[in-house]
Structure 1
């Protein structure tokens, strides 16, 4: 059970910095995830042999209830995930360009940097290389490493912490969905919700916008680079 606290947690004790990937490390307005979203709909339509309209309904229903559409298809229709994961992540990464300011901020953060994503390692590596920040991260914990379980399931975070020997009470988590921060907060992490400008025009689901004021969100930022730069200045790093 998450309980309220008098003040947000700080960063002076943080030894491990954990980042979500999509819509967190890069701006949402690039619509990179929209490509994945559309390919998921196409896959669902073909797999279930339904219209695109019905596929959209199923996709969003499973995403909300299971954490990922894939997990819903596995649970309710016996989906074998390998082909699905390969298909939905075959996207054009060219909208991403190098982000030297992000790279500089990551380099100055003291301690380890890790990616925790519901996507694949291949997709994460493509994104990080396009941003030219791949060399700042120690490793990627992807959907395969999580045994195909998605955030926000608590066991995903437990597996992540065990795999990488991370002390949650000395870690910070950056995410674009508030619900994915509830368990990290309960485990002792400092939490940051990344909500880029213009996201209300891009997101289709109202529930994805919820949680900015939740007790398990320590900080909210519209710009991850500015947030990190201001944090580093406060930490005098």
Structure 2
């Protein structure tokens, strides 16, 4: 993590943007592996393939299209609502409520957003489970993005245009380093939650402003730094 004086550089931020999965809850909660497994089952049934082939197809689509869904839509005419309903039918009991995180996010000056490649029904359930629903002003999901997901640059432009966000006054928190590169390119401050959930190679870290392992601790330090400035 950057030394404390760097927090002074965040006084201009008035839009705080957070990814959902493996960012607002710990990767070790093992929620996303449930989703991953259900994606595999969906592909097995759709294409009548074995688990190994379904996994190969799934990961290939993830890396070529940014997420599995747009690839399935493009190649197999999959209905996105049907796909998302099936893969998000998971047990949320594996994640623990984190009201302290909600308090920290609520105290940040400005507006707070969730920016996710998941859909709103699932994201809302996760936020409710975590106790974070009241901490956010808006949620921007894959339907709002018209199925053009992170890390494709149009996703970030669409997010900013929809909510009137000035990228130069925004900070984006993500567990996947590659999803931060387009944010940095348009002027956002970037925070990488380095928790082992990153998939695939990372082409350098020059686009990362803050590399942290504990989101709550990071936000507490940010708030302390901002309060010292006030």
Shift of 1:100: 2.3
- Alignment partners' CA distance in 2, 1:224 and 1:204: 16
Quickly say closer, same or farther: Cα 1:163–1:102, change in 2 above 3 A: same
Shift of 1:8: 9.7
Structure 1 counterpart of 2:16 = 17
- Alignment partners' CA distance in 2, 1:18 and 1:99: 18
* Structure 2: segments with no counterpart, 5+ residues: 1-5
Say what the alpha-carbon RMSD is for the aligned residues: 1.7
- Alignment partners' CA distance in 2, 1:230 and 1:9: 11
Shift of 1:9: 9.3
Contact between 1:8 and 1:218, CA under 8 Å: does it hold in 2? no
Structure 2 counterpart of 1:230, from 212, 221, 225: 221
Contact between 1:13 and 1:170, CA under 8 Å: does it hold in 2? yes
- Alignment partners' CA distance in 1, 2:105 and 2:199: 31
User: TM-score w.r.t. structure 2 length?
Assistant: 0.92
May I ask how many residue pairs the two structures share in their alignment? 223
Shift of 1:204: 8.7
- Alignment partners' CA distance in 1, 2:110 and 2:157: 20
Contact between 1:150 and 1:156, CA under 8 Å: does it hold in 2? yes
User: TM-score w.r.t. structure 1 length?
Assistant: 0.90
Shift of 1:149: 1.2
Contact between 1:9 and 1:190, CA under 8 Å: does it hold in 2? no
Partner SS state of residue 148, structure 1:
coil
Q: How does 1:114-133 map to 2 (within 5 A)?
A: 114-133=113-132
- Alignment partners' CA distance in 2, 1:16 and 1:204: 24
Contact between 1:193 and 1:219, CA under 8 Å: does it hold in 2? yes
